[in-house]
Amino acid sequence: MTYFMYKNNLISVYSKFEAEASHTVNLSDERAASVVASIADMKACYELKLKQEKEQQQIEEAASTENNEQQKEEAKTVSSAYATLYIDRIGMEVPIYYGDDSKTLRKGPGQYPGSSLPGEGSQILIAGHNTTHFKPLQNVAVGDIIRVVTGYGEFHHQVISTKIASMNDTSTYNLSLDHEQLVLYTCYPFTGPPGKTQRFFVYADLIN
């Protein structure tokens, strides 16, 4: 039984207690004293149950929060993917790794370590190769929903804009952003030889 169910039940029982108590005036002193004592015992029992249930709920909430924080920290240290990214409209499903060095990007898209993790409320920078995992981004459109599924939660972002800019353009990101935003980027154009100096950026704001 949840805390709120106990609370509602307790209110109902109290009403019954009051009705019982109102009849004690018609009982003998001994019987009245017995009824009053029984009512007091029942009140104490329900109040104890209510307190225990509330404390248990608080313990479970604290444990859940601690577990989420632990999984976030583990995401920064494990070599395996810490999340999966989906853009259903274009059939995109890719693993996300923590780190954006060349070795990591050969396995799949990687997050710049200086950026926030999903759920931390700021900008998330994720890079990927345009010939493999991030190739479908050439078909992304404003309004598309990007789902990021981690071990500690699922986050939905909606594409608000795309941009083509120089690889050296520092205005393309803001690590101090005051709201959560997912930024995916890859080399541009999507065809041609390697060594490109331009990047294609996708910006998506958190919606839930």
CATH of residue 130's domain is 2.40.260.10
Q: What is the pLDDT of residue 200?
A: 98
Residue 53 and residue 29: Cα distance in Å, rounded? 36
Q: Which domain holds residue 130?
A: 83-206
Question: Which residues does the annotation mark as catalytic?
Answer: 129, 187
Residues 139 and 182 in one domain: yes
Distance separating alpha carbons of residues 135 and 52, to the nearest angstrom:
55
SS (H, E, C) 70-104: HHHHHHCCCCCCCEEEEEHHHCEEEEEEECCCHHH
Per-residue pLDDT at 128:
97
Q: What are phi and psi of 88, to 5 degrees?
A: -60, -35
Together in a domain, 104 and 185: yes
Number of continuous H segments (helices) and E segments (strands) in the chain: 3, 8
Q: How many CB atoms lie within 10 A of CB 70?
A: 12
Looking at 38, 56, 75, the residue that finishes a domain is 75
pTM of the model: 0.67
Total number of domains constituting the chain:
2
Burial classification of residue 180, based on how many CB atoms lie within 10 Å of its CB (0-12 exposed, 13-18 middle, 19 or more buried): buried
The tens digit of pLDDT for each residue in 133-179 reads: 999 999 999 999 999 999 999 999 999 999 999 999 999 999 999 99
At 79, the amino acid letter reads S
pLDDT of residue 54: 74
Nearest to 96 by CA among 88, 112, 138: 112
**All residues at 6 or more sequence positions from 156 whose CB lies less than 8 Å from its CB, including other chains:** 145, 146, 147, 148, 206, 207, 208
Residue where one domain finishes, among candidates 57, 75, 93: 75
Residues of the chain with pLDDT under 50: 1, 3-4, 6, 24
Residues 109 and 131: beta-carbon distance below 8 Å: no
Q: Do 69 and 119 fall into the same domain?
A: no
Q: Are residues 11 and 50 in the same domain?
A: yes
Say whether both 64 and 95 belong to one domain.
Answer: no
Predicted local distance difference test score (pLDDT) of residue 76 = 66
CA angle 23, 27, 32 (to 5 degrees): 80
